């Protein structure tokens, strides 16, 4: 299985493809991430890739796998990434 691209490899690729410096490409990636973190509470969309959204999870009953004892899992907010249809089709192929 191939290794995932690191941040520096991604910045290298973007720098070569867009004819900019590696430093500029790296700064772009950092600013995009910071913008996504800041705007996640309102949902943040990366066109053609997906959307970062906050979701409220309900409280539920779970089970301790070691003892089998039922436990209560409290409600909480979680961050989710919803992949766009265009990305799914590009990665998995159209059906």
Domain match, 89 and 55 both: yes
State residue 3's pLDDT score: 87
State residue 78's pLDDT score: 94
pLDDT tens by residue, 35-91: 999 998 889 999 999 999 999 999 999 999 999 999 999 999 999 999 999 999 999
CATH code of 91's domain? 4.10.520.10
State residue 34's pLDDT score: 95
**Tally of domains in the chain:** 2
For 9-28, letters b (16+ CB in 10 Å) and e give: eebeebbeeeeeeeeebbee
| pTM exceeds 0.85 | no
75 vs 41, 56, 64, 70, 82, CA distance in Å?
Answer: 17, 7, 17, 16, 21
Q: At what angle do helices 22-39 and 7-18 cross, to 10 degrees?
A: 120
Angle value at C-alpha 27, between 22 and 28, nearest 5 degrees: 100
Domain range for residue 90? 43-95
């Amino acid at each position: 299985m191939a290794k995932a691209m690191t941040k520096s490899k991604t910045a290298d690729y973007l720098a070569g493809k867009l004819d900019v410096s590696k430093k500029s490409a790296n700064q772009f990636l950092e600013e995009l991430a910071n913008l996504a973190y800041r705007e996640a509470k309102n949902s943040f969309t990366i066109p053609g890739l997906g959307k970062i959204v906050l979701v409220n999870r309900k409280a539920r009953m779970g089970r301790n796998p070691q003892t089998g004892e039922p436990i209560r899992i409290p409600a909480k907010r979680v961050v989710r990434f919803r992949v766009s249809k265009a990305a799914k089709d590009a990665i998995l192929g159209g059906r």
